Amino acid sequence: EAQVTQNPRYLITVTGKKLTVTCSQNMNHEYMSWYRQDPGLGLRQIYYSMNVEVTDKGDVPEGYKVSRKEKRNFPLILESPSPNQTSLYFCASSLGGASYEQYFGPGTRLTVT
Amino acid sequence: KQEVTQIPAALSVPEGENLVLNCSFTDSAIYNLQWFRQDPGKGLTSLLLIQSSQREQTSGRLNASLDKSSGRSTLYIAASQPGDSATYLCAVRPRNYGQNFVFGPGTRLSVLP
């Protein structure tokens, strides 16, 4: 089944403890991205990647890191999480350039205390 | 900077009604516009993708139109059902702002049996 998977789905952690949220797609998509969704602010893009080893900042990149060493994986890294990073995170992928449809993962609900 | 708005913010209708959801964007320079559905606590499901050169797309009871020059899109849902209850999001892919997708805040739809 073609899909985008994220792990973990739920995570509660403490301020400053490094964490990684994994994202994987099995559709051979070139483009992958991370979003966060907050009440009243909607979905905002954190980082995106056009292909392996190519990443770029979205609208809200501060406090996050990403890497794209393989085409299928695009992990989101929070080196020192803070409470304002408590949010619902989504990974998405699309086949390639600007014309293609986006497919979303199921989301990861992160709480930082 | 591209901004996307959606009206109404929430809508409640009896089962069987036809309804229209609205999406507006400030800059007509877009590659495409995509409509999504989001169920509570779940990820986003793609409904329709309209390329900038297209006027409308149809899938089952759903029809989406695009008027790029006026910065508007509508999502028409025919013969609504309780299972259509969800939040509907539109997103545009701007030509002028890198690869970022810009989402609207969503319309929360309730279809009453």
Locate the chain B residue with the closest alpha carbon to A97.
B99
pLDDT score of A97:
67
- Contact: A104, B95; criterion CB under 8 Å: no
Would you call A104 and B51 a contact, using CB atoms and an 8 Å cutoff? Answer: no
The distance of B59 to chain A (nearest Cα, Å) reads: 15
Chain B closest-CA separation from residue A82 CA (Å): 22
The pLDDT assigned to B40 comes to 85
Residue of B nearest to A55 (CA): B99
Highest mean pLDDT among B36-50, B59-73, B83-97: B59-73
Residue B99, pLDDT score: 59
Q: What is the pLDDT of residue A96?
A: 76
Contacts of A21 in chain B (CB under 8 A): none
Do residues A4 and A104 lie in contact, with contact meaning Cβ atoms separated by under 8 Å? yes
* Average pLDDT, integer, range B76-80: 97
Q: Is the model's pLDDT at A42 over the cut of 90? A: no
Mean pLDDT of A53-74: 95
Across the interface, of B46, B91, B98, the residue whose CB is closest to A56 is B98
pLDDT in tens, A64-100: 999 999 999 999 999 999 999 999 999 999 987 666 8
The values of phi and psi at residue A85, to 5°, are: -95, 5
Interface of A with B in 20-39 (CB under 8 A): 31, 33, 35
Interface mutation target, options B44, B54, B57, chain A, most CBs of A under 10 Å: B44
Q: Mean pLDDT over residues A45-74, rounded?
A: 94
What pLDDT is recorded for position A98?
A: 67
Residues B14, B78, B92, A27: is their CA dihedral positive or negative?
Answer: positive
The closest alpha carbon to A106, from B19, B110, B44, belongs to B44
- pLDDT value of residue B98: 61
> What single DSSP character describes residue B84?
G
Query: Across chain A, what does the average pLDDT equal?
Result: 93
pLDDT at A77: 98
pLDDT score of B97 more than 70 = no
CB contact under 8 A, A99 and B32: yes
